[in-house]
Each structure stands twice: as C-alpha cells, then as structure tokens.
Structure 1
Amino acid sequence: MNIKKWFFLFWTTLLIGAGGAVIAGLALQTVNGAIHFKSTADTLIYPLILLGYGMLVSVYAQLGFFAYLILNYTGIGVFPRRVWQYVQVGLSVLALLELIFLRTFIGSGRNVSSDWLLGTGILLTALIVAYFKVRSTNLSAWIPTFFFMTAITIVEIIGVLQIGVDSATVFIVIPLIACNAFQILMLHRILKPISA
C-alpha cells in the first residue's frame, strides 16, 4: 500500500459514503416526511447536508476498516490461523446474537421487529459481500470478510443503536455498510503488486 493507493481508497470511499447518505436521507424524507422545508433554499441545502454527513460516516467507516486491519494482523500473529478463523466466526455470531436477541430481552421497550430486520439485513449483506469477495479472490477470504461485515459493522453502529430511533439507525447504517462493503471488496485490488 502506497500513498497513491490509499488516496484512491480514501476518496472513493468518501464518495460512496456521500452517495449512500444522500440516498438514505432522501428515501427517509420521501417515506417519513419528517423534515418540513420552509423555503426553496432549505430544500436545496438539504442534499448538501446529506453529502457532508455521508462524508463523515465514510471517514468513520475508514477508521473502523483500518482498526479491523490492525486487529486481523494482530490476530494472525497471536493465534494459529485456524484458531483465528474460529475466533472470528465466534465473534461474528456473538455480535449478531447481541444485536438480534440480547438487546430485545435486556432492553425494555425495544422494538423487536426493527432489531430483527437490522440483524437480518446485516447478515444478508455480509453473506453477499463475502460471496463476491471469494469470487474475486479465494475461499480463505470468506471468514475475514464475514467477520468484518458483521462484527465490525455492529461495533461501529453501537452509538446509534443506543439512541433507539429507527430512522437514525437507517440513516447511518446504509452509508456505513456501503463504505464497508466497498473497502473490503477493493482491498485485494489495491494491494495487488504492480507488474513490471
């Protein structure tokens, strides 16, 4: 990884986060109509606010991605490779169980259907992204990709989950998952050595 490759990853992820936030924000506005614009200027400024918010989410996703890379590097160094794979699968399952079940039973007044929908969405997205990552690389990429798309994504959204507002969750989860999927799918392309 050199500066040029990192620069490419940074800016493309920034654009994907911005696009994901605009899509999520406009979709929520269309469905809920929660924001009432007072003038045409408010209507025109709203997409710009969404762009800025999406860029912030993409930077947050990039921090999580580099934290994952350090965690993965450390895990490979500490554990034998097979054991590290079991640890990743175990942590992924625990994160999904916490998201879908434990929050519902421990937290009072929780909406069970929104937790189920979010957990199922993250699980299906992780399976799809892992499938495409394996098609692009090899079978050994399945577990790390699944771990990143489930456990790391769930850790990244803990703050918004504590708010307990479904629209806020959707507003951060869509650009965050888009950024995470893009980063993990691009990693092997960026790290590919340049042939002479």
Structure 2
Amino acid sequence: MNTRKVVFLFWSTFLIGTTAGLLMGIMLDFNTHMQDLRNGQVGGVFMLFIGAGIWTIIAQMGFFAYLTIHRFGLGIFKSTKLWNRIQVVLILFALFDLMLFRYWAFGTAEETITDYAILPFLLLVYAVIVAYLKAKDTNFTAFIPALFFMVVVTTIEWIPALRENDMTFLLTAIVPLLVANTWQLLVLHRLHEQPN
C-alpha cells in the first residue's frame, strides 16, 4: 500500500468517524445544542467534534496496532487455525470481562450481572455483522480476525469511557470507535485491490 492510500485511509476514517461521533453527541442532547447554535454559541458542538475526533484517532491507532499483532500471531503460532482459536478465546474473555468488571465497578443492589451483559451482547452482534461482511467481501478466513478486531480491539479502545458509568459518555465514545473501525476493516482490502 502506497502513501497516497494510507493518507486516504487516515483522512476518510477521520472524517467518517468524527462525523458519526459528532452527530451522536448532538442527538443525545439535541435541544441544548440547537439552542446554543441559534444563540451563536458553537463551543459545545466544537467540543463534541474534538471528542469524536480523539476517539476516531484512537480507533486508527488500534487498527494499525492490530495489523501488527495479527502478523505477529500468525508468525508465532505458525498456524492460522491455532491463531484463530486463540483469538476466539480472547473474544470470549473480552466479552466476559466487559460484563463482569463493569458489574463489579458499578453494579448496585437492584441490578444483576445480566443487566451488564447488554453492552457486550450488542457489541458482539454488531461485530458478527461486520465480520460477516468482511468475510463475504474477501474470504471466510477473514471472519475470526475481523470479529477479534471488532470485539477485542474496540473494547480496549473503549476502556477510558468504560471506567465511567455514564451512558452518554459510553455512546459518544463507542459510535466513532465502531464507525471508524468498521470503515477501516471494510475498506482496507479494497485499497489493496486498487492499482497504485
């Protein structure tokens, strides 16, 4: 992949992820932001833009880190089947930890651990859809790596927001992360297929 394609991937991911995060932030507090804009105050929307941009850049760093880790995994284990099995174990571990650690940190007497299983379940459903699309566009061997990236890497990128028990913060973080990660994953092979 040449420099032009890397620059395209960076800027397209940044614009798509940041726009998605900005729109989510505006929708979560629509009346306040619209009132501010009518009064000529753009500070709140600008801060949403900055926040969404930061999450998108985190997603980009996670993507390139995963590409490196994936190559190391294939090199160390010498077998795609073994590396895929390890990735499946890590996916299950990440989903379980996403549920359990949040329950331990924020669970109240009225809540059960199943209340904290909703976010991991939704993340898994979304990741399966994206991994299916990736496998359909490339080949079936891409399913497990794509699923691993969408679940494990996204969860790691999401950790700063997961440390808070604020649904607004969780949503304004996960939307740019998921959109950016989805875009990067689904466009990468298309960039490779294009002539230089």
TM-score for both structures, normalised by structure 1 = 0.88
Q: Tell me the secondary structure at the aligned position of residue 96 of structure 2.
A: helix
Following superposition, the deviation at residue 38 of structure 1 comes to 9.8
Aligned residues: 192
- 2:30 is aligned to 30
Q: Is the 2:99–2:116 contact (alpha carbons within 8 Å) kept by the matching residues of 1?
A: yes
- 2:165 is aligned to 164
Q: Is the 2:99–2:117 contact (alpha carbons within 8 Å) kept by the matching residues of 1?
A: yes
Instruction: Say yes or no: does 1:89 pair with 2:88.
Output: yes
- 1:152 is aligned to 153
Output the CA distance in 2 between the equivalents of 1:108 and 1:144: 31
| Deviation sequence 1:145-191 (CA, Å, 0-9, x none) | 00000011111111111122111111100111100011011111112
Q: Is the 1:14–1:54 contact (alpha carbons within 8 Å) kept by the matching residues of 2?
A: no
| Deviation sequence 1:36-91 (CA, Å, 0-9, x none) | 8497122x443333223222211111000001001001000000211100011110
- 1:192 is aligned to 193
Following superposition, the deviation at residue 116 of structure 1 comes to 2.6
Output the CA distance in 1 between the equivalents of 2:122 and 2:107: 22
1:41 partner letter: G
Instruction: Say yes or no: does 1:50 pair with 2:51.
Output: no
- 2:67 is aligned to 69
Following superposition, the deviation at residue 114 of structure 1 comes to 6.2
Q: Percent identity?
A: 32
- 1:140 is aligned to 141
Output the CA distance in 2 between the equivalents of 1:189 and 1:22: 27
| Deviation sequence 1:119-138 (CA, Å, 0-9, x none) | 12211110110111111111
User: How is 1:83-122 mapped onto 2 (pairs within 5 angstroms)?
Assistant: 83-104=82-103, 106-109=104-107, 115-122=116-123
Output the CA distance in 2 between the equivalents of 1:174 and 1:131: 20
Specify every segment of 5 or more residues in structure 1 that has no aligned partner in the other structure, as ranges: none
- 1:10 is aligned to 10
- 2:130 is aligned to 129
Output the CA distance in 1 between the equivalents of 2:169 and 2:15: 20
> Cα RMSD (Å) of the superposition?
2.4
Q: Is the 1:68–1:148 contact (alpha carbons within 8 Å) kept by the matching residues of 2?
A: yes
